[in-house]
Structure 1
Amino acid sequence: MNKLLASGRGAALPLAILLLVVVMVVPIPAFLLDIFFVANIAISLAVLMVSLNAQKPLDFSSFPTVLLFATLFRLGLNVASTRIVLVHGHEGESAAGHVIEAFGTFLIGGDYVVGIFVFAILMIINLIVVTKGASRVSEVSARFTLDALPGKQMAIDADLNAGLITPDDAKKRRVEVATEADFYGSMDGSSKFVKGDAVAAMLILAANVVGGLILGPVSHGMTIAAAAKSYILLAIGDALVAQLPSLMLSIAAAAIVTRVSSDKDLAGQIGGQFGSPRTWTPVAVILGLLGLLPGMPHLVILTAAGIAGFAAWKLRQIERRPLVEATPAVAEEPADPSKIGWDEVTDGMQVNFDIGYGLVPLVDPRRGAPLMGRITGVRRQLSRELGFVVPQCRVRDDINLAPYTYRILINGVVLGEDQVSPDEMLALDTGQAYGSLSGKKAKDPTFGLDATWIPSGDADAATGAGFLVVDAGTVMATHLNHLLGANATDLLGPDEVQSLLDGLKERAAQLVASLTPNPLPLTTLTQVLKGLLAENIPLKEFRRIAQAIAVAATRSADAEEIVELIRPELGPLIIQKLCGVREPLRVMTLDGQLEGLLGQAARADQSRRHVIEPDLGRRIVDALQEAAQPLIAEAKPFALVVQPAIRLAIRKLVKTVLPDTPVLSFFEVPEEKAVEVVAVIGQQHQALAA
């Protein structure tokens, strides 16, 4: 049934176009012309209503195409009505149908001179005022939308990389941005349809008048006066019956292109902005003073002043009503100041987001709480990446902070603090921008990029200049995302590990039973998983990780040793973050002589805690930084591959200066994986092996 309906809807439009061609070519009776004229008016009214009720222009994205077909339909009716007027106009006022007769007699009183002036006024309104203004707005909107397209795409990519949105959300936003550009580009062109239709209406009227004045005397023996009265009256009726739908479509086009996106329709948006007593009180006062002047129509003006005054009083009552309703009927009992509760000395939240009072509007539900939505997006994206549910983040205002300062705490430790401007936008120089911006200079708190706080109205210009423009909420959420990802090991506790085990138990009960509580207690398993997170290994593939831990637990009960034992099993998971399937793995290695020296030290110190002499360690780090600098500048990921015996010591040495550089053992690189050696540390620095 659904397929039949879908096929029926698909065939309706081609059939309608075919019918339109038939109406233009084949003569039709007057009663059918009446039906088509009424249908034309109904379609124009429907288009106007949809335009007024749309919350944003893209809600009526098919408008340019609808405007094209509506214009073609009306022009087809003009051709059909012109044929009837010229062929049967000598028969009387009802020769072209009752709709044209009604517009020619009732609306203009049967006087074709009045009709000509009425039609001229409608043409001026449609062509000079509405259509010309809508065309200019469409042109400007199309240009600015296309200019801002690259910046919007960059903003979507930035939100996706920061974890504020999911890949599906990013795909939807990209489609919406592309659709918006196509829509405004189409509206810029479709506005020419409206203008061309208005010009065509004048030419068709002139053709009907001239044709009637020639056909009346020549073909039907009418006098010039009789021909003028008959044919011009029908021509004016035909022009008016076509001009009325044309005017409604012009208003619809103007309403669409001048809309600003809102969560309300046009009536609600205008009503909300005019619904203030501060608007109507001055109106009532000024009209009242005007009504007292001598010679004025006192009754009309004072009545209007009274209506405006009543509206202002009523709106003021509405503004006060929520305050009265929000007052509790029964006052709460005051707390005993001598009692101290546990909530005053303990804090059960792992992640806290403290803000100054100037940032409270960002979390105000009455203003949409934009920051809260972004924090939820950060938690959702990080939870998918890390493999466990990131704890909730509590946002609270702190009177001890400066008004526009925020502070991020994880497990009671302050890890981030900065200032933002909630009413401005932060323009980031990502290296592709040109020119400079006027505003307060700043540093991006997440990546340390040079940035400038600019007014919101300058955002489009900054985007066009290549800057990445984000609001204060996005800056704060991105900073939170970075800190949570960098400190993921502090977010994982026994409760989160138990949740992972409970989820795995539903699919692999025997695996969980062989893992904990024997041979590994929950605390040791937690330390093992923390060790993996500390080396940027997510827990998404927890079943594979649990299998490797269960095997390693038969050989050791030490969490650090278990991590080293399972890393070769997790090598493919580690490497897939560094390169593609067909892309070689870029690696750095240590010089053989240097590696042998460190291996001897590792065998002498079974604890593998202090195998590198400080001065030697400093020179290794300097050489590694020098070799890594070109790769970091080109954003090319790489890994440092060493012997298994010294991997842990080298990792502890490297993470202080290059925390994002993975340190792998030879056993963690699959045999089938292609390797590209980009540097050998110590080869050009023989002093390292001394």
Structure 2
Amino acid sequence: MPLKRLTQLGVPVGIVMIVVMLVVPLPAVVLDLLIALNITGALLVLLVAMFVRRPLDFAAFPAVILVMTLFRLALNVSATRLVLLDGYAGKVIDTFGHFVVGGSLIVGLIVFSILLVIQFVVITNGAGRVAEVGARFTLDAMPGKQMAIDADLNSGLIDEDEARRRRAEVHQEADFYGAMDGASKFVKGDAIAAIIITLVNLVGGFAVGVAQLGMPFGEAVQTYSLLTVGDGLVSQIPALLLSVATGLIVTRNTGDEDMGSDILRQLTANKVPLRVAGFAALALCLIPGLPKLPFIVAGGIMLLASARVGEPEEPADTGAELEPVAVADSPEMLASEIQIDPLGLELSADIIDLVDTATGGDLLERVKALRRKVATDIGIVVPPVRTRDNLDLPLRTYAIKLFGIEVARGEAPSGTVLAIGDYLSALPGEPTREPVFGLDAKWIPAEMRNQAELAGATVVDRSSVVTTHLAEVVTTHAARLLGREDVKLLTEVVKRTHPVVIEELTPAQLSLGEVQRVLQALLDEQVSVRDLVRIFEALSLRAQATKDVDALVESARAALGPAIAAPYVVPGEGGATVHVISLEPHLEQRMLESMRLGDQGAVIALDPVTGQHVLTQLARLVTDAENLDVRPVLVCAPQIRAAVRRLVRPALEKLPVLAYTELSGAQQVRAVGTVTAEPTMAVTA
């Protein structure tokens, strides 16, 4: 049989055999073998728990606890059956009852009680509490961790595959700690069962020996009590090992090495505590009556270890001030100085460390990754981000500029990280709001990062905050950042692989300026222009009939098709679903009849009362949908889509407006509501 098949059948067959053990008597020789296997298996589980680098590396641990506990209880039942029937339960139990405790019932009971107290009172209760708290904090932190993954994905630090892997890891972590919360109850119940089984064995042994076999009371006590104690000790040793393994797993933090290496590295990280402990041990030798040799040996070990530990590295002095650079007074230099950068990032003097690689600043590298990410997502080449210091900015402040005009501002205090979540009141720091999503947050000292994560908060470093904010600004203003030179560059890239498409389109039918306006209109409505080939093919066909920008944009959108609706499609059991708000046919007809051509394209000239009524209905429907955690889109006829977008944009800037033909990518279309021209409003549940 293949090894994989044996592996698949091994555990199920083993569990069935455990159940059989509960009802079928076992020979003493077989019981000895299974007891040895139980002790060895528990030791193996403990060692695996010590050598894993993170709890998820031993994700099967909760199930292992259940199987091992069931196995041990089955051994207890089998041993009890042999003790009461034959007065003998194998060599292992007999040895533990006579040799390990010296044949003394009192000593055996005391040792058994001590092991039981250690397991039940100390280890099991502590591990159970840690597992319960860990499960609660892990579940509370899930939304924040998901947002942190999305922030790294949006800033270009990770790709889709890495984001998918991290999301799966977050779910696995929540499942693991939830299972550990329940598995800790198995260990606690096992300790309680050990007490009950021992008492039952003692009473049952006395009854069998005295009542059935006619033994004298003293002989019955000596025979059955020692076997009962031996059975209890044999059971408690693997139970204690499993309890310790449970405590190690639930208290294990994610590290780069195994637990033993982490503990030794952190205990010997500084020579001062080792020296103090060594001299303290030597000082105890001065107490009269104490043996000198043990304390001399312990102190010498500490002092020897301190001599082998290096001094902690002092942080390098990176307080060098930025020196002004003398600029030559030449026309060329002056001309370069007066040029306006399309995209700029300015930092106050105290947060220059964000771009100082000597202190670990990686902001410039993240901005480079952001440019690649934006190019992949929306299809434009983001201009280089000019990063400089600005002494006029308030301390700990950064500003994002677009063509020399500030469009966003935020804070990134030195020595802090941003904690995002709902449980921040117990953390020291300054309350604030996350700059992109407006979530409650707090700037906390960097050394409080682990405590904040344990409290369920999402912790983001300063560079990630700035990069995420910059990504949001770039995405929002992508249309303004697309210049004529950028359009020329994009057309040349397409020309290398599809020369015929470019030759038909420009300059024969459309100029670069007209192509630029179409692409800007698409970007303005958050439509990616990565698929330039299909966009240009659609424009070349439509440009034969008209050069109207709205008409060209609608032809490009029709060519993109499902790609436009994809961001708003929600996967589900019934297939891909998009939630839509529609317009009443009578209202669509009125809008079509009232369309007028303006300087910026077609607009809808409804009377003020009707126009306000339509916007009020839309705002109410959007709010109701968002309260249900649904992101709706407004759909209408292609002929009026651009004009409807201009109508609703001032009041509902983030509401997408799609044409009916753009919903082909959705398998299901679910109505959120219908906007009417009358004072009533039809809403679909």
- What's the TM-score once normalised by structure 1's chain length? 0.72
Name 1:290's counterpart in structure 2. Answer: 284
- CA separation of 1:460 and 1:565: change in aligned 2, threshold 3 A: same
In the alignment, structure 1 residue 45 sits paired with structure 2 residue 37? no
Distance in 1 (CA, whole Å) between partners of 2:637 and 2:22 is 79
Instruction: Please give the residue correspondences for 1:189-204 in structure 2 after superposition, counting only pairs within 5 Å.
Output: 189-204=182-197
**SS of 1:25 mapped into structure 2:** coil
Name 1:445's counterpart in structure 2. Answer: 435
1:406 to 398, 402, 406: 398
Distance in 2 (CA, whole Å) between partners of 1:400 and 1:229 is 90
1:402 Cα deviation after fit: 5.1
Name 2:247's counterpart in structure 1. Answer: 254
**SS of 2:100 mapped into structure 1:** coil
Name 1:416's counterpart in structure 2. Answer: 408
State the Cα RMSD in Å.
Answer: 5.5
Q: Which moved more, 1:169-178 or 1:5-14?
A: 169-178
Give CA deviations for 1:665-690 in whole Å, capped at 9, x if unaligned. Answer: 999999xx999984779x9xxxxxxx
Distance in 1 (CA, whole Å) between partners of 2:223 and 2:659 is 99
1:435 Cα deviation after fit: 11
Give CA deviations for 1:165-189 in whole Å, capped at 9, x if unaligned. Answer: 7776666555544444443333233
- CA separation of 1:50 and 1:630: change in aligned 2, threshold 3 A: farther
In the alignment, structure 1 residue 483 sits paired with structure 2 residue 473? yes
Instruction: Give the partner amino acid of 1:70.
Output: M
2:298 to 304, 308, 311: 304
**SS of 1:304 mapped into structure 2:** helix
Distance in 1 (CA, whole Å) between partners of 2:253 and 2:237 is 27
Distance in 1 (CA, whole Å) between partners of 2:473 and 2:360 is 25
Name 1:125's counterpart in structure 2. Answer: 118
Name 1:54's counterpart in structure 2. Answer: 52
1:362 Cα deviation after fit: 6.6
Instruction: Please give the residue correspondences for 1:92-103 in structure 2 after superposition, counting only pairs within 5 Å.
Output: 96-103=89-96
Name 1:16's counterpart in structure 2. Answer: 14
- CA separation of 1:97 and 1:338: change in aligned 2, threshold 3 A: same
1:248 Cα deviation after fit: 0.6
Instruction: Give the partner amino acid of 1:194.
Output: V
- CA separation of 1:370 and 1:114: change in aligned 2, threshold 3 A: farther
1:22 Cα deviation after fit: 2.7
Distance in 2 (CA, whole Å) between partners of 1:594 and 1:639 is 18
1:631 to 602, 618, 623: 618
- CA separation of 1:662 and 1:126: change in aligned 2, threshold 3 A: closer
Instruction: Give the partner amino acid of 1:83.
Output: R
In the alignment, structure 1 residue 545 sits paired with structure 2 residue 538? no
Give CA deviations for 1:515-562 in whole Å, capped at 9, x if unaligned. Answer: 457666778755653454345442133222010233356578xxxx47
Distance in 1 (CA, whole Å) between partners of 2:81 and 2:153 is 61
Name 1:387's counterpart in structure 2. Answer: 379
Distance in 1 (CA, whole Å) between partners of 2:349 and 2:148 is 28
- CA separation of 1:490 and 1:299: change in aligned 2, threshold 3 A: farther
Aligned positions, number: 635
1:620 Cα deviation after fit: 9.4
**SS of 2:308 mapped into structure 1:** helix
In the alignment, structure 1 residue 567 sits paired with structure 2 residue 565? no
Distance in 2 (CA, whole Å) between partners of 1:31 and 1:366 is 68
1:67 Cα deviation after fit: 0.5
Instruction: Give the partner amino acid of 1:311.
Output: A
Distance in 2 (CA, whole Å) between partners of 1:70 and 1:677 is 60
**SS of 1:315 mapped into structure 2:** coil
Contact 1:567/1:668, CA 8 A, preserved across alignment: no
Give CA deviations for 1:483-503 in whole Å, capped at 9, x if unaligned. Answer: 111222355464676467646
Contact 2:154/2:471, CA 8 A, preserved across alignment: no
1:33 to 7, 27, 31: 31
Give CA deviations for 1:534-591 in whole Å, capped at 9, x if unaligned. Answer: 45442133222010233356578xxxx4744522313445874789768454598897
1:73 Cα deviation after fit: 0.6
Q: Which moved more, 1:383-392 or 1:517-526?
A: 517-526
- CA separation of 1:66 and 1:392: change in aligned 2, threshold 3 A: farther
Instruction: Give the partner amino acid of 2:536.
Output: A
**SS of 1:316 mapped into structure 2:** coil
1:244 Cα deviation after fit: 0.9
Contact 1:589/1:680, CA 8 A, preserved across alignment: no
**SS of 2:410 mapped into structure 1:** strand
| Matched-pair identity in % | 36
Contact 2:420/2:434, CA 8 A, preserved across alignment: no
Distance in 1 (CA, whole Å) between partners of 2:435 and 2:612 is 24
- What's the TM-score once normalised by structure 2's chain length? 0.72
Instruction: Give the partner amino acid of 1:489.
Output: A
Instruction: Please give the residue correspondences for 1:278-677 in structure 2 after superposition, counting only pairs within 5 Å.
Output: 278-317=272-311, 319-320=312-313, 353-356=345-348, 359=351, 382-388=374-380, 390=382, 403-409=395-401, 414-421=406-413, 423=416, 425=418, 440=430, 442=432, 444-446=434-436, 472=462, 475-492=465-482, 494=485, 498=489, 502=493, 506=497, 508=498, 510-515=500-505, 529-530=519-520, 532-534=522-524, 536-552=526-542, 561=547, 563-572=549-558, 573=560, 576=565, 583=580, 585-586=582-583, 599=597, 608=599, 628=615, 631-632=618-619, 634=622, 637-638=633-634
Contact 2:401/2:408, CA 8 A, preserved across alignment: yes
Contact 1:356/1:403, CA 8 A, preserved across alignment: yes
1:479 Cα deviation after fit: 1.7
Instruction: Give the partner amino acid of 1:67.
Output: I
1:194 Cα deviation after fit: 1.5
Unaligned runs of 5+ in 1: 90-94, 324-335, 603-607, 684-690
1:156 Cα deviation after fit: 6.7
In the alignment, structure 1 residue 265 sits paired with structure 2 residue 265? no
1:198 Cα deviation after fit: 1.9
Name 1:333's counterpart in structure 2. Answer: none
